[in-house]
Amino acid sequence: MPAQSAQARPRVCFVTLGCAKNEVDSANMKRRVLAAGFCLEEDPAQADAVVVNTCSFIQAATEESLEAIFEIAGLENFERGDAKLVVAGCMPARYGDDLAAELTEASEFVPCSKEDDIAAILCKILPDAEGAMHDTALAADAEPVRDVDGQPSAYVKISDGCDRFCSYCTIPFIRGRYRSFAREEILAEVARQVSAGTREIVFIAQDTGRWGDDFEKPSTLASLLADAAEAFPHTWFRVMYIQPEGVTDELLSCVADHENIASYFDIPLQHADADILRAMNRRGSREEYEALVARIRQMVPGALVRTTLIAGFPGETEEQFETLCDFVEEADLDYVGVFPYSQEDGTRAARMDGQIDDDIKQERAQTLRDLADASSTARVAQRVGQEMDVLVLGREEDGQLYGRARCQAPDVDGVVYLDGGQPGDIVRVRIVDTLLYEMEGELL
């Protein structure tokens, strides 16, 4: 291998669809192919192989993944037979052998559980690769990889799978049963990212609040967060996707006690009507959720609370939808994401009576979005005149610098436009203007 030039090594392009958890999985696969001696290529039209890391959580995500696959399969290098297509991630995990019969454009299918084997799979399908590659194993304490690590903000996955079996959700069938990652493994990944220059670590999973309860000697998310925050005092930490049951007093105290943990709680409530929540195989009610938000704000002054909601679940009456609307208008929430219910094959909800017409689902979802936007953007506008720290993330195509404050989670809450700083800097700014969810900050 040392005698080979970089140009002679097979070039692999990754196309990632779906959520942040898929981004983490793609980063891990990139590290493995780089360790094996492949080159990363950004342009699929110039690649020897393209790995499409698919999302299949809902039908719309599956359709988006299929569009990306067909677009890549139509590129000239694929039409000539010079490149190979690998379909990875959620679609192979969800549809299994049925997918291979339908997608003849792909050379290999790699479900989530087999992604660690990506380098060996590429060696198998690329004719000139196998004899040229290094050992495809990746050491747990591998050094940061310039092409993958060291962004200003990075996701670190702390567990995988889910045991909740919400009646509308396909995740347990795609990702399997819940399993926490070892504390040492998580902290080693944090250390690698920090050593490469990352300033913010975002802990993610399907159910972050459950971390550690499946160990032989159970542990808690709060203890993991405290260890990370104290070991890396100059790094910001943030946690996404905490189910309501995971918001414990221990966790709230941990966040309140550590200045470098964002006082930000992303809690997917999904609905506010108790009967609909039971049909979803979830617990809770409007009263319980309002009490939860109040407890968060009491124990963590200045906390921000985000949730996601589903409109048009089977059997949702006009009265139940009005309950949800009232909750969005009156609950003390900072950000609300809204999705129309998606009828997914293989789930219990898909077989329920009372399926709601697509037009009505979309109309209800838009009504909720409008209510959420009115409330949330008014809260954002109140930040004018406030001073806050902002992590500089990069520049837009027109050169405009932007970043995120701790009150903004990645990809969902807008950004802060800046008049100075460099990517990776944490700068102090005064907010001088807002537009919907975006803010404009002047350096102090």
40 neighbors 13 (Cβ within 8 angstroms): yes
Based on DSSP, count helices (H) and strands (E) in the chain, helices before strands: 14, 18
Around Cβ 346, how many Cβ atoms within 10 Å? 10
Q: State in Å, rounded, how far the first CA of the chain is from the last one.
A: 52
Which amino acid belongs to residue 397? E
Strand 387-395 relative to strand 416-418: parallel, antiparallel, unpaired? Answer: unpaired
118 neighbors 110 (Cβ within 8 angstroms): yes
Binding residues for [4Fe-4S] cluster: 19, 55, 90, 162, 166, 169
Token pair listed for 114: 């087999």
117: CB partners within 8 A, 6+ apart:
110, 136
Token pair listed for 83: 């490149």
The size of the chain, in residues, is 444
Token pair listed for 430: 């005064």
141: CB partners within 8 A, 6+ apart:
188, 192
Count CA atoms closer than 13 A to 139's CA, side-chain side. Answer: 7
Angle at CA of residue 92, ends 87 and 95, nearest 5°: 140
Which DSSP symbol is given to 58?
Answer: S
Token pair listed for 23: 């981004």
198 neighbors 237 (Cβ within 8 angstroms): no
Around Cβ 311, how many Cβ atoms within 10 Å? 24
Q: Look at residue 426 and give its three-state secondary structure.
A: strand
For 228-264, b/e burial (b = at least 16 CB within 10 A) is bbeebeebbbbbbbbbbebbeeebbebbeebebbbbb
Which amino acid belongs to residue 176? G
Tell which residue, 340, 364, 353, has the closest CA to residue 59: 340
Residue 353: exposure state from Cβ atoms within 10 A (0-12, 13-18, ≥19): exposed
Binding residues: 19, 55, 90, 162, 166, 169
Distance of CA 24 to the CA centre of its chain: 8
